[in-house]
Chains A and B, each alone.
Chain A
Amino acid sequence: MAAPEGRALRGAGVRALAADRWFTVMRSEELVPRHVAQTALLGQEIALWRDDGGGVNAFENRCPHRGVRLSIGQNTGLELRCRYHGWRFARGDGRCTHIPADPSRPPPAVLRATVYQAAVQQGFIWVALSPLDRPPPSWGAGAPWLTLRSTPVDAGVERVRAVLEAAAQAIAHDAYTFTSEVEQARLTLMLQPMCEAGTVIHAALTPPPLLADRLAVLRQYAARLARLRDAAEAP
């Protein structure tokens, strides 16, 4: 973001109001193997990684040892290895499995990365900060859609919402989900509130265009969403 708010992202206060729901955080195909993605939700930073079994792991972006960001760590395929002391945290439950400075005994069970729920649905990765016993919503109703490039915006979610409602004639389905009809297609916009001054607009198009037109459509919508972004960022 152009204006970082200091070390811990601001926005945690809003978390209590919106913690018990799923949010889109990334297109699933972008979470490539042996990589750690960095994202945030309601002021909480998240280290996102795909293990070699294909599972998506969403860890609190903070090693429980000395608070170093796990997003600068290494994805070994089975664990996330913290860059400071080389501690390893297992996929799935985030349990610490290895401490180089004390390798002779298994790490205490209390040592673990905080794990958030993550799910893949309709080409997106969804994360919930509190445990939910329902799957992520299915906005496309299962019909094929084309996931578009996600647009980060240096503005809070309320501002982005206001721009979508005013400029885009978008219909709100809930506080974070909008649709608009564009040229015989439906554009679905899903907002990810990263922090007080940062939002990501995730988007998908139904029905998907012909394969030959795919790149042109992707560019067209990237430009369209960039204009919404510019409107939201305008002082």
Chain B
Amino acid sequence: MTDIALPDRIALDAWYAVAAIDEIRPDRTRSVTLLGARLGVTRGSDGEVLVSAEAGGSALPVALRFGHVWTTLGAPAADVFAIAEYHEPDRRNVNAGSVGVRTSGPRVVENFLDMGHLPIVHADYLGVEARAEIAPYRVDVTAEPDQILATRCRIFQPMSSVAATQGFEVDYTFRVPHPYCAVLYKSSPVDPARNDVIAIFAQPVDQDHSVAHMLVSVLDQTHSDQAIRAFQQFIFGQDRPILENQIPARLPLDPRAEIPIRVDATSSAYRRWLRQKGVRYGVLA
């Protein structure tokens, strides 16, 4: 499908994750597509990462954050958002893979924010149908910081992470600091006073295709990186065919197009937030 509209200013002036740093082999160029533009990501033997536009070769801004290479096609007003937990000394930070998905960035983000599907799509792991009822929770949209925060979300999870040894009621907090990124804070099975963090950074390849980059930042001194990664890949592997069977691929922002229920408060706030910001890429106005 030909995209007649170029990416808008909001889409252009944002930072995007385009690769996990570890996956860029030294002295090799990795080709990635961002907002329809082909870019080259190179890692020199000195470790420096460079991103350039493939046609013309001009260098683009680069930020290395959360184990990923971030770049932009425009001029962002601020740095990449922060995730404080990432820098805690006892954290295990694992990049859980970069997976291509045949849907828009906003659909990827909204699925990540959704709780109603946890006992259905991820049955016996992140929820169970016998305890599928979701109690009302709180959603706050703030300008400073510019983000959505959903708190007091709770759900019973038979296996909330690879470190969980039994089922328990897990507290969830969702944060949307960027139109195409979301961060989840969930009660750690290892230390109930602290949170595990899972983040998804959607790279819009074009309006109907994305790459989902996933970060897992947990308190787990027992399991290998591979085991932590495998769990997240399994969970996302269950989401992916759902995402690819949503029609249309672009997120409809008209509230009459798809019908939410009370439980969908976070996703309703997300769609309103995108509309208010004037986001046009990967959505249907």
CB within 8 Å of B: which residues of A? 6-8, 45, 61-62, 64-69, 72, 83-86, 99-104, 110-111
Pick from B102, B116, B252, B263 the residue with the most CB of A within 10 Å: B116
B259 CB-CB contact with A under 8 Å? yes
22 residue pairs from A and B, CB less than 8 Å apart: A6-B1, A8-B248, A64-B258, A65-B260, A66-B114, A66-B246, A67-B248, A67-B252, A68-B242, A69-B247, A84-B121, A100-B120, A100-B129, A100-B132, A100-B133, A101-B115, A101-B132, A101-B261, A102-B134, A102-B263, A103-B133, A111-B259
* Cβ-defined contact, B208 with A7, below 8 A: yes
* List of A residues within 8 angstroms of B247 by Cβ: 7-8, 45, 61-62, 67-69
* Cβ-defined contact, B246 with A67, below 8 A: yes
* Cβ-defined contact, B120 with A86, below 8 A: yes
* Cβ-defined contact, A68 with B120, below 8 A: no
* Cβ-defined contact, B259 with A69, below 8 A: no
Q: A45-B247, A65-B259, A67-B246 are in contact. Are A85 and B133 (CB under 8 A)?
A: no
* List of B residues within 8 angstroms of A110 by Cβ: 259
Tell which of B1, B241, B242, B261 touches A99, judged by Cβ atoms closer than 8 Å: B261
CB nearest neighbor in B for A110:
B259
* Cβ-defined contact, B259 with A104, below 8 A: no
For the complex formed, measure the closest distance between the CB of A220 and the CB atoms of chain B, giving whole angstroms: 38
For the complex formed, measure the closest distance between the CB of B39 and the CB atoms of chain A, giving whole angstroms: 24
CA gap between A61 and B247 in the complex, in Å: 9
For the complex formed, measure the closest distance between the CB of A85 and the CB atoms of chain B, giving whole angstroms: 5
* List of B residues within 8 angstroms of A102 by Cβ: 133-134, 261-263
B11 CB-CB contact with A under 8 Å? no
* Cβ-defined contact, B120 with A84, below 8 A: yes
B166 CB-CB contact with A under 8 Å? no
Give the contacts of B227-252 with A (CB-CB under 8 A). 241-242, 245-249, 252
For the complex formed, measure the closest distance between the CB of B120 and the CB atoms of chain A, giving whole angstroms: 4
Pairs of residues from A and B, 7 with the lowest C-beta to C-beta distance, nearest first: A100-B132, A101-B116, A86-B120, A69-B245, A101-B263, A85-B116, A101-B134
Q: A7-B249, A69-B245, A84-B242 are in contact. Are A104 and B117 (CB under 8 A)?
A: no
CA gap between A102 and B129 in the complex, in Å: 11
Give the contacts of B46-87 with A (CB-CB under 8 A). none
CA gap between A5 and B195 in the complex, in Å: 43
* Cβ-defined contact, A100 with B119, below 8 A: yes
* Cβ-defined contact, B259 with A83, below 8 A: no
CA gap between A62 and B249 in the complex, in Å: 12
CB nearest neighbor in B for A112:
B259
CA gap between A61 and B129 in the complex, in Å: 24
Q: A84-B121, A111-B259 are in contact. Are A68 and B116 (CB under 8 A)?
A: no
Could you list 13 further interchain pairs (A-B, Cβ under 8 angstroms) beyond the known A8-B247, A101-B115, A102-B262? A6-B208, A7-B249, A64-B259, A65-B259, A65-B261, A66-B110, A67-B246, A67-B247, A67-B258, A68-B246, A72-B245, A84-B242, A102-B133
For the complex formed, measure the closest distance between the CB of A160 and the CB atoms of chain B, giving whole angstroms: 24
CA gap between A85 and B248 in the complex, in Å: 18
Q: A7-B248, A68-B246, A69-B247 are in contact. Are A100 and B116 (CB under 8 A)?
A: yes
* List of A residues within 8 angstroms of B117 by Cβ: 84-85
* List of B residues within 8 angstroms of A62 by Cβ: 247
* List of B residues within 8 angstroms of A103 by Cβ: 132-133
Tell which of B116, B120, B133 touches A83, judged by Cβ atoms closer than 8 Å: B120
CA gap between A84 and B245 in the complex, in Å: 10
* List of B residues within 8 angstroms of A64 by Cβ: 258-259
* List of B residues within 8 angstroms of A72 by Cβ: 241, 245
For the complex formed, measure the closest distance between the CB of B216 and the CB atoms of chain A, giving whole angstroms: 24
* Cβ-defined contact, B258 with A66, below 8 A: yes
* List of B residues within 8 angstroms of A99 by Cβ: 261
* List of A residues within 8 angstroms of B132 by Cβ: 86, 100-101, 103
For the complex formed, measure the closest distance between the CB of A140 and the CB atoms of chain B, giving whole angstroms: 36
Give the contacts of B259-281 with A (CB-CB under 8 A). 259-263
* List of A residues within 8 angstroms of B262 by Cβ: 102
* List of B residues within 8 angstroms of A65 by Cβ: 258-261
CA gap between A66 and B252 in the complex, in Å: 9
Pick from A64, A67, A101 the residue with the most CB of B within 10 Å: A101
For the complex formed, measure the closest distance between the CB of B210 and the CB atoms of chain A, giving whole angstroms: 13
For the complex formed, measure the closest distance between the CB of B119 and the CB atoms of chain A, giving whole angstroms: 6
CB nearest neighbor in A for B260:
A65
For the complex formed, measure the closest distance between the CB of A40 and the CB atoms of chain B, giving whole angstroms: 12
For the complex formed, measure the closest distance between the CB of B250 and the CB atoms of chain A, giving whole angstroms: 9
Pick from B132, B134, B249 the residue with the most CB of A within 10 Å: B132
